[in-house]
Structure 1
Amino acid sequence: MNAGAGLTGRTGRTQVFEVSTLYGAATLAAALDAGMFEPGRRVLLVTNNAAVPEAAATLDEMTGWAAIAARFDTVVDWNETVFPNHPSLWAPPETDTAAWQRLLRVAWDLGNGPLDLVVESVHAKPAAALAEIFADADVHVYADGLMSYGPTRERLLWPTACRVQRLLHLDLLPGLTPLLLSEFGAPAEIVPDAAFRAVLDEISGACAEPAVARRVPGERTAVILGQYLAALNILSAAQEEGLHERMLRGAARAGCAHVVFKPHPTAPAQYSKALEKAAADAGVRLTVLDTPMLAETVFDRVGPDLVVGCFSTAMLTASVYYGIPIARVGTDLVLGRLRPFQNSNRVPVSLVDAYVPDIEALTGGLETLPGTPEDAGAALGALVRVLGYTMQPRMHAPLRGGAEQWLAEHQGGLAARYVRRSKLTALALPGGFASGVAGQMPGRRAALRLVRKVRARTVGKS
C-alpha cells in the first residue's frame, strides 16, 4: 500500500489510525475533515479481519479507497506485519510488548514522541493488541455502526481503560446516546453529518460507471443488503439465503419492479443464484453487484426508492444521509438465534427491530410504508439501557432501577421480545419466573438458586 501524497512535514502528535472497513475509514476521514484531530503525522494501519483474508477483497480494491488514503502520510498493512498470524487472533506475549513498540516505532517512522492510537473495537484484536503494544499512547475509539449504542462487550483492563479519551460515532439514531465505553466516563462525540456525507460523495465520485445499475424510467427500484450472517454463525447458509429471498419478495410486494442486490464482500456466489430464481418467480428484474464498493455508493448512484435489509448499519445510513425509505426483514429470526445473550449484535438487531418498519407487514404498496419517527432516539434510549443492564449487569449496575421500571411497564410485550425470560429470572427482574418472590426472599443469591430449581422442575413436568 502506498503513502498519502503531499502530507509530509506536519508537526504535532503522531497518530495511528486502525481501520478494517472502507466505511470505518470514511468515518475517520470525516472526523479529520471536521477538525476532530489536531495536525500531526498520520499513519493509516489497515487490517483485514476476514476469516480467510487472502480470499476477501482488500480495502485498496474498493471504489473510492484512494481518496481516503490520500489524507494520511503513510498506509501500512497489519496483516503483513503479523504474518503468518491472523490479525483477529494474534497478540504479543506480555513480555514482548515493549520490544514490539520499539520495532514498530522504527518500522513505521513514528519517532519517540507522544502517540495517539485511534482504533475500532478496542476490546477485541487487533485493536486490543495495539493498545497493549503502545502502552503509553492515548486511545481514541471510533464506532462506524449500530454497535456503538450497545454496552462494551467485555470489561477492559484498567491499563487500557484509563487511556480511553473519547468515543467518536455517527449520529445514526438522532437523540440516542451510545452506551459503549460509558462505564469509564468516556465522552461520546458525534462526527458531523455534513462531513460524513461529503466523504461519501467523494467516494461515490470515484466510481467509474455513471450508474452501477440501469434504471428504467417510471420503474421503482429497491436495494436489498446482504450481511453474510452465516459467517458469524448467527444463521445457517440456507437461512440467510432465505432471508435474501424474503427481502426480494417484500420489495416486489411494495411495488418495486427492479431489485439491486448488494451482497456482503465475502458472501458465497450461490446466494446470487438463489435470488435469480426468486426474482423470476416474483416477476422482478434483478441486478447483482459484483464490484467491491460501499452500499452508500450504490444509494448515491442508483437513487433507490427503497432499501431493505436485516440489521445492516447501511439501512440507517440510507435513511439519515440519503432520505431513502427503509424496511427490515428477519430481525425476529435473528433475535431468537443470538447466543450468548450478551452477543454484541443484540443491540443493533433490537434497535432496527424497534425502529424500522417490517416490510412483510405491509398491507399495500410502498406508499403505505410507515416513516421512521423523528423522536425515536429518545424513545429507544430506555430500551438500550434495559439491554445494557441485562447484557452486562455488573458493568452497568446503576441502570438496574430504570430497567426494572421499564420491564414492569412492558411485561408480556416488548420485554418478552427483547429480553429472554431466563435472563429476567436469573437477574430477578420483572417478567422472570417468580421474580416477585425472589425479590422478597432474604439472601438474593440463595433466592435466585431456589427460583432456578423450581423453574427447572416446572419445565421438566410440562
Structure 2
Amino acid sequence: MTQLFAVHSTYGLATAVAAIDEGLLGDAADRVLVPFVSARVPETVVGIGIDPSLESLRGRFDRVEDLGVLLGAQHPSDWQPSDADLPLLEKLLTRAWGIDPGDLELFVQSPQVAPARTLMSIFPRARLSIIGDGLMTYSPMRVALGRLVAARIGQVVYADVVPGVRPLVGSPFATPLPVPPSRFQQVLRETDSGAPVVDASGAALDDAVPTVLVLGQYLSALGLLSVREEAALHRDLVDRAMTWSPQRVVFKAHPAAPPLQSDAVRERVLSLGLEYAEYRGALPAEVLAERIDAVAVVAGFSTALPTVRATLGIPVGSAGTTRLLARLAPFENSNRVPLAIVDALTRDDVPAADPAHLQLLIDALGHAMQPEIAGHLRPRAELLLRTLAPSERDRYFAPERLSLLRLPGAPAERPVRRMLRSAGGVGRVEQWRLTALGARNRAARVWRVMRGR
C-alpha cells in the first residue's frame, strides 16, 4: 500500500511525522510526501519541500514529489480541473508518481480547498484521511465536500493540543486520531539545528533572564483590525505579559507584518523598564519558547498558545479576544473556533477551559457557524444555550445568528418581524397573501360550477 501525504505547513508535516513515529498510521510499503506552497506569492516563502530545517522530517518518507514542480506556473490553490479531466489526471499522476490508485491512502491538509480537494477527487478509490492544521482542525467544514468524497474520509490525524476536546473537521463520520503532545513536541524539536538563539542584533537569548515570549499576528491583513488597532493590541499583549513579572520580553513578529508592530511592542516594553529583544529566526514558536526558557507565552489567538501549554506546560495568555469575537465576520468565519478556544483557555474569570464545557462550546459554535454541514450538533447547541449565562452567550454568539437559526437565547421577535419571517421559502405576509388568493380562486371555481359554466 502507498500512503501519500499532501501537506503545506510545518505544523501539518510535523503532525504527520509524529503520527508515523507513534505508529498510528500502520504499515505502508511506500510513503510519499507531496509538499506544496499555499502562500499567495510562493516565491516569498521557503516551502516545506526544501526547507533545510525540515530535512529530518522529510526523511520519514520514502520519497518527495513536489506538487509545485508538477503544476508549473499554476498556483496550487487555483488547481481546479473539470470533472471530465479527472480520469485523465488519475492516469497521469499514477504514472508520474509510480503508485497504484487501487491501493492508496491519501492524507490531505485543508481538505475544503484546492489542491487537497482536487487530489481527493482525482483518486476516487483512495481511502482518505485529514491531517490537522492547528486550531483550525477544531472548526467544522466550511464547504460540503460531496457524498462520494466525504464518505471516504476515515480519520482525522491531529496534534492533541487541546486535550479532551475532539475536532469538528470531518465530523460526524471521520474517526479522531489524536497524536500525543509529547510526541508532537519531540518532532518539533528536530527542526532546531542547535545553533545559538540570537535576537535581531545578534545577542544571545538562551540565558537565564526571566522572559515572556510575545507572538505577533497580522490581523489587519485579515480585515479584523485596522493597522492602528493592531498596534494597540500588541501594546495590550505586553501589558498581559506583565502578569508573569518578566525582566525581558522577546517578540516574534508575524513574517508578513509591517515594522509598526515591532515598534509598538518595543515602545511599550521599554516604557515599562524591561529589556526588549526581537527574534527573526526560523524556529517555530513552540521550540523558541523552550530554547529561551520562557516563563509564559502571550499572543492574540495563535495555535502556538495551546500547543506550548499542552506540550511544555508553559502558562499562556492573550489579549483582545473579547473584541475580536464580537467583530469577527461573517459568523461562519473559520477563525471563530480557534479564537474561542484561546479565549476559553486564557480567561481568568470563569473555568471555561474545562474540557467537557469547552467541547460543548465548540460543538455549539460549529452548529451555529455551519447549520447544514454540522446539523447533527443542533442538540448540543441547544443544550449549551439553555444553560449559558446571558453574558457568556453574548460573548460567543451573535443575537442575530441565534434568531436566524431559532436557537435558545435568541431575542424575542417583534410582531412585524415575525410577520415577515420566512416560512417555507416565502415571507409570512406573502404566505398569507398567496393563501387568500388561492381561497378566492377556489371559491370562484365553485361559483362557476354552480352556475353551470
Q: Say whether residues 1:379 and 2:357 are aligned partners.
A: yes
User: Aligned partners of 1:239, 1:126: CA distance in 2, in Å?
Assistant: 34
**C-alpha deviation, 1:332, in angstroms:** 1.5
Match of 1:89 among 74, 78, 85: 78
SS of aligned partner of 1:222: strand
Structure 1 Cα separation of the partners of residues 221 and 8 of structure 2: 17
Corresponding residue to 1:207 among 185, 194, 211: 194
Match of 1:455 in 2: none
1:412 alignment counterpart: 390
Shift, 1:122, TM fit: 0.9
**SS class of match (1:203):** coil
Q: Check 1:195–1:260 CA distance in 2 against 1; reply closer, same or farther (3 A cut).
A: same
1:178 to 138, 149, 167: 167
Aligned residues: 425
Provide the residue aligned with 1:53 in structure 2: 42
State the Cα distance separating 1:197 from its structure 2 match: 2.5
- Is 1:235 matched with 2:228? no
CA offsets 1:266-292 (integer angstroms, 9 cap, x no match): 333442233332322232222211112
Question: Are 1:123 and 2:112 matched, yes or no?
Answer: yes
Q: How many Å separate the matches in 1 of 2:257 and 2:70? A: 27
Query: What's 1:323 paired with?
Result: 313
Q: Does 1:290 find its partner at 2:291? A: no
Q: How does 1:60-459 map to 2 (within 5 A)?
A: 62=51, 64-111=53-100, 113-183=102-172, 185-204=173-192, 206-209=193-196, 214-215=204-205, 219-252=209-242, 254-357=244-347, 376-434=354-412, 445=423
Q: Distance in 1 between matches of 2:243 and 2:10?
A: 33
SS of the residue corresponding to residue 168 of structure 1 reads strand
With over 3 angstroms needed to count, the CA separation of the structure-2 counterparts of 1:82 and 1:324, relative to structure 1, is same
SS of corresponding position for 1:307: strand
Moved more, 191-200 or 104-113: 104-113
Contact preservation (8 Å) 1:63, 1:293? no
Q: 1:448 to 1:235 in 2, by over 3 A?
A: farther
Q: Which of 343-352 and 86-95 deviates more? A: 86-95
Q: Cα deviation per residue 1:216-272 (whole Å; 9 max; x = unaligned)?
A: 866320011123223333333333333222212321454212111122233334422
- Residues 121-160 of structure 1: CA deviation (Å, up to 9, x unaligned): 2111221111122222111101131222221112211121
**What is the alpha-carbon distance in structure 2 between the residues aligned to residue 132 and residue 301 of structure 1?**
43
Match of 2:18 in 1: 30
Q: 1:448 to 1:238 in 2, by over 3 A?
A: farther
- What TM-score, normalized by structure 2, do the two folds share? 0.85
Cα gap change, 1:36 to 1:425, in 2 (>3 Å): same
Deviation (angstroms), 1:415: 0.8
Report the CA distance between 1:63 and its aligned residue: 6.3
- Note the C-alpha offset of 1:333: 2.2
Question: Structure 2: which amino acid aligns with 1:259?
Answer: V
Percent identity of equivalent pairs: 35
Going from structure 1 to structure 2, the CA distance change for 1:30 and 1:99 (only over 3 Å counts) comes to same
**Post-superposition CA distance 1:41-95 (Å, at most 9, x none):** 1111111111211112333565631110111122232233223222222211222
**Would the aligned equivalents of 2:3 and 2:28 in 1 still touch at CA under 8 Å?**
no
Q: Which structure has the larger Rg over C-alpha atoms?
A: 2
Tell me the amino acid that sits aligned with residue 385 of structure 1. D
The runs of at least 4 consecutive aligned structure 1 residues that moved more than 6 Å come to: none
Query: Which stretch of structure 1 is more off in the superposition, 259-268 or 30-39?
Result: 259-268
Structure 1: distance between partners of 2:151 and 2:208: 57
**Cα distance between partner residues in 2 of 1:266 and 1:310:** 16
Inter-CA distance 113–180: structure 2 relative to 1 (3 Å threshold): closer
CA–CA separation in structure 2 for the residues paired with 1:187 and 1:71: 24
Cα separation, 2, equivalents of 1:272 and 1:63: 27
Per-residue CA deviations over 1:85-109 (Å, capped at 9, x if unaligned) read 2222221122212222222222223
- Provide the rounded CA distance (Å) in 1 between the counterparts of 2:294 and 2:244: 13
CA contact (8 A) 1:64 1:207 kept: no
Unmatched runs of 5 consecutive residues or more in structure 1: 1-12, 362-369, 452-462
- Name structure 2 gaps, 5 residues minimum: 430-453
RMSD, aligned CA:
2.9
Aligned partners of 1:189, 1:296: CA distance in 2, in Å? 22
Q: Is the CA contact (8 Å cut-off) linking 1:14 and 1:40 kept in structure 2?
A: yes
Equivalence for 1:21 = 9
> Quick one: which amino acid aligns to residue 114 of structure 2?
K
Q: Within 2, Cα distance between the matches of 1:45 and 1:286?
A: 40
Provide the C-alpha distance between the structure 1 equivalents of 2:243 and 2:3, rounded to a whole number of angstroms. 50
Q: Give the partner amino acid of 1:429.
A: L
**Which amino acid in structure 2 is aligned with residue 207 of structure 1?**
G
Q: How far, CA to CA, are the matches of 2:5 and 2:206 in structure 1?
A: 42
